Structure 1
Amino acid sequence: MNFGFGAPVSGPLSKPRDLARIVGEGEAMGYDYCTLSDHVVIPRDMEKKYPYSDTGEFPGRAGGDRHEQLTATAFVAGKTSKLRLVTSVTVVPHRPPVLTAKILATIDVLSEGRLTWGIGVGWCQEEFEAIGTEPFEERGAVTDETIAA
């Protein structure tokens, strides 16, 4: 059995010094992996309720910085040596397929094979609109294309 923890990519504990300390201490305590979440933006108004909580409220509305997931994963890779790095989950359609593949391959090589890419298609239409990526309705096909890359 493996044990892990969520690394803060937003809110008051996401400052570089704090994030580095948290992942370093997690690794020193013997945790196997850390997860890093992905939301490029959090729209102020969302028509749909968050589908993964009982209340429908999105739990990731902490104030302060919100780091881009893959960049934060590379940062954590540089601050650790054994900890497995797990994206939880990358909203695949938010990024261009070939560039995403290159970034992931780079993180995996520089971390000496410690990356696990957890993926999803996204649930928040307003986030897609704010980013200006492919239409929300095409997110499944875009995800398939990215996996193929």
Structure 2
Amino acid sequence: MRVALHALGIGHGARPEVVRAVARAAEAHGFARLWAGEHVVLVDAPVSRYPYSDDGRIAVPSDADWLDPLLTLSFAAAVTERIGLATGVLLLPEHRPVVVAKQAATLDVLSAGRLTLGVGIGWSADEFAALGVPFAGRGRRTEEYLAAMRAVWRDDVATFEGEFTRFRDIRVNPKPVRERRVPVVMGGNGDAALRRAVTLADGWYGFNLSTAQALERASVLAGLCAARRRPTDALTVAVALTDATPAVLPELARAGVTEVVVVGAPPGTPDEAARWVGGLAAHWLNGGHSIKAT
């Protein structure tokens, strides 16, 4: 079971000196991966309900600093050497797929193959409207964009024809480090997200779940894998939990979960942030669990 940290990019975690301190301390203490999420736009009075809390409200204030995840992880990559890096999640249908493919491959090269691209379809109609992207059809758009990005990563000269994007005979370099592919993890807690994880991705990231919910979702994921004759152990299964303790890690591992992501907000100074990471490591990593970057 790997233990990772989702703490970069928001509030105090948006300060460069804190990003540097958290990244270095997380690597030194043995966390498997650093996760960073995304919202391009927040609004004071959202129309859409936040799907990852009981009250339907996102915990991040609308006026908080929120860094771009690929740029944040590039900064973290520059001050570390081994720890994995993951977007958790990048809202893919809000972006141009060829540009994201280029950015992700660039970060993968600069980090020596440490990037996992976590993607989601998004939930905020306000955000889509501000960016001029249709909210309807965002699931189909995400699926198509992934196919287009993989064509760009894979082919020296790429051509793609789809409903939402098309290009012909283009060269996009550099190519990702690991056999011209970046591992893709699908975010989202619903059945559609699980189906996309099994059929389109290399893994799944469940966010703000209770342990009981994570076990139930992992069971559904295993059933979908069986129906598709895809080995469950071929998937990365990462979960960020609302009630997790180190004691539940063995049960989660038996259910097929491969990574628990600890979500937290670091303090505002580098020294405090480094000590904060050390405290999390003492709590989570001292139980003899196998920790490695992927």
**Fold similarity call, TM over 0.5:** yes
Consecutive unaligned residues in structure 1, runs of 5 or more? none
* Root-mean-square deviation (Å): 1.3
Q: Name the SS of the counterpart of 1:34 in structure 2.
A: strand
Partner Cα distance (2:30, 2:11) in 1 = 25
Indicate whether 1:125 and 2:125 are aligned. Answer: yes
Deviation at 1:64, TM superposition (A): 4.0
TM-score by length of 2: 0.48
String of CA shifts for 1:70-102, please: whole Å, max 9, x gaps. Answer: 111111111111110011011001110100011
Residue 271 of structure 2 corresponds to: none
Structure 1 residues 64 and 124 mapped into 2: Cα distance closer, same or farther (>3 Å)? closer
String of CA shifts for 1:104-128, please: whole Å, max 9, x gaps. Answer: 0111111111001111100001011
Partner Cα distance (2:65, 2:123) in 1 = 22
Partner Cα distance (1:110, 1:30) in 2 = 21
Q: Name the SS of the counterpart of 2:55 in structure 1.
A: coil
Consecutive unaligned residues in structure 2, runs of 5 or more? 150-294
Residue 50 of structure 2 corresponds to: 50
**Comparing 60-69 and 134-143, the one that deviates more:** 60-69
1:1-149 aligned within 5 A: 1-61=1-61, 63-132=63-132, 134-148=133-147, 149=149
Deviation at 1:7, TM superposition (A): 2.6
TM-score by length of 1: 0.93
Is residue 43–residue 130 contact of structure 1 (8 Å, CA) maintained in 2?
A: no
Partner Cα distance (2:61, 2:142) in 1 = 25
Specify the code of the residue in structure 1 equivalent to 2:137: E
Is residue 6–residue 35 contact of structure 1 (8 Å, CA) maintained in 2?
A: yes
> Which one has the bigger strand percentage?
2
Identical-pair percentage: 36
- Structure (1 or 2) with the larger CA radius of gyration: 2
